[in-house]
């Protein structure tokens, strides 16, 4: 399986390694032509405002939105989740707006407030994993079609809506890549 990682800004290298550990051929996506031939795409953590602006500047926002709407499986983490969200509290920034969530950026505080915690999930093979939260967003509302697969403090932290998967934490920093394995196996099972 050929899985792309948006490599405009953010923690794309760690996702590429996690995808390879999970059995995929990882490919860095830096321009519009890089979107062709992908079986899946990861939108990494980083700075969502910068990523959105770069997607627009490089003419990738609308084609990427269309590819996802046409069934390209996508997994957004942290800033990637923000890019996918329909609504961002107090912000009107460039985003894909495809995932029926309302999110609050940097909800857990500043960089110094980053933390790790044990999470219970509904993901086969990853029923209990470490969640790494780095200036993480918080999902403050999820639409009816959004499946919540893990929560922390009463807020969803791992969700799925059709072929759109998203996490507020950084699963690429967890050994053995269990969430990436699940993402890829979900795609394989759905083919």
Q: Which residues are designated catalytic?
A: 78, 170, 172
Which positions ≥6 away from 55 have C-beta within 8 Å?
8, 61, 64, 83, 94
Helix (H/G/I), strand (E/B), else coil: 53: helix
The token pair at 175 is 């050994």
The token pair at 128 is 């209990």
d(CA 62, CA 95): 10
In 3D space, the residue among 140, 147, 139, 144 whose CA is nearest the CA of residue 164 turns out to be 147
């Amino acid at each position: 399986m050929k899985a792309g990682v948006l490599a405009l800004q953010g923690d794309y290298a760690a996702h590429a390694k996690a995808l390879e550990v999970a059995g995929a051929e990882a490919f860095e996506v830096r321009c519009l032509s890089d979107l062709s031939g992908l079986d899946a795409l990861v939108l990494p953590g980083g700075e969502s405002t910068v990523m959105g602006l770069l997607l627009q500047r490089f003419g990738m926002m609308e084609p990427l939105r269309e590819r996802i709407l046409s069934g390209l499986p996508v997994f957004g983490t942290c800033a990637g989740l923000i890019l996918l969200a329909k609504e961002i509290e107090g912000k009107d920034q460039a985003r894909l707006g495809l995932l029926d969530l309302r999110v609050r950026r940097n909800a857990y505080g500043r960089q110094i407030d980053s933390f790790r915690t044990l999470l219970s999930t509904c993901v086969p093979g990853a029923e209990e994993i470490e969640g790494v939260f780095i200036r993480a967003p918080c999902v403050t509302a999820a639409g009816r079609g959004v499946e919540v697969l893990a929560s922390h403090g009463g807020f969803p932290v791992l969700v799925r809506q059709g072929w759109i998967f998203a996490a507020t934490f950084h699963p690429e920093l967890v050994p053995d890549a269990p969430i990436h394995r699940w993402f890829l196996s979900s795609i394989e099972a759905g083919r």
